[in-house]
Amino acid sequence: MAVGITYEQAKKKAWGGFFLLLIVTLAEVFIALLGNGHIIDGFTLSRLIMYPAMIILSLYKAYYIVKEFMHMGYELKGLVLSVVLPFLLLIWAVIAFLWEGAFWHDSREFIKEQNELAPADDETGFILRDKGELPEEIYFI
């Protein structure tokens, strides 16, 4: 659909895009299955290799869909920037919230440790002493 190519070329390009996305998806699933030991018995990959590989492949898929299928590669610069730039905000959002999640994790572990150290009736203990003291619906994890 790019500007200046014939109908036949455009048609070919559309189906080319299909095979590209399909191959990338199969590669992702292959990495997941291989890494988790489903393909070769007893063989696993480190998550430090698997996760970045799968994230990069997914980002590539997203880039291809936006550029070719959604025609973003052939729009004016002003439109492209006004759509793409806001997404830079997400970089910090991801870092900040995962950081926050890790902090919740550490806080939970800390409370658990302290509860094991302190006797149950100790007044100096922690606020969320035991999940069982609260109604089931109000905690989320």
Partner 1 sequence: MATEKLVENQAEIIPNEKENGLWDGGKSPMGVRYGKLMMWYFLISDAFTFAGFLIAYGALRFSVPTWPVPDFVFQTFPFTKAHLPLIFVTLMTFILIVSSVTMVRAVQEGHRENQRGVAFWLLMTILGGSAFLGSQAFEWGTLIGKEHVSLNTNPFGTHEVSGTYLEDDHGHTYKANEEKETFKAGESYLIHKHDGEWLKRKYITDDGVEGQLEFGPKAFGALFFFITGFHGFHVFSGLVILLIILINVVGGLYVERKNGYEMVEKVGLYWHFVDLVWVFVFLVFYLL
Please tell me whether residue 104 binds partner 1 under the rule CB under 8 A: yes
Contact yes or no for 114/126 (Cβ under 8 A): yes
Site for partner 1 in 38-97 (CB under 8 A): 38, 51, 54-55, 58, 61-62, 65-66, 69-71, 75-76, 78-79, 82-83, 86-87, 90, 93-94, 97
Interface with partner 1 (CB under 8 A), residue from 2, 10, 27, 134 = 10
Name which position in 26, 27, 49, 134 contacts partner 1 (CB under 8 A): 26
Pick between residue 49 and residue 93 the one whose CB is nearest to partner 1: 93
Q: To 5 degrees, how large is the angle CA 113–CA 118–CA 124?
A: 110
Alpha-carbon gap, residue 90 to 95, rounded angstroms: 9
Pick the closer one to partner 1 by CB: 44 or 122.
Answer: 44
In angstroms, give the least distance from the CB of 125 to partner 1.
21
* C-alpha span between 57 and 49 (Å, rounded): 12
Contacts of 136 (CB under 8 A, 6+ apart): none
d(CA 141, CA 138): 10
Query: Who's near 57: CB < 8 A, 6+ residues apart?
Result: 24, 27, 28, 31
Are the C-beta atoms of 74 and 2 separated by less than 8 Å?
yes
Footprint on this chain of partner 1 (rule: CB under 8 A): 1, 7, 10-11, 14-15, 17-18, 21-22, 25-26, 28-29, 31-33, 36, 38, 51, 54-55, 58, 61-62, 65-66, 69-71, 75-76, 78-79, 82-83, 86-87, 90, 93-94, 97-98, 100-102, 104-105, 108-109, 136-137, 139-141
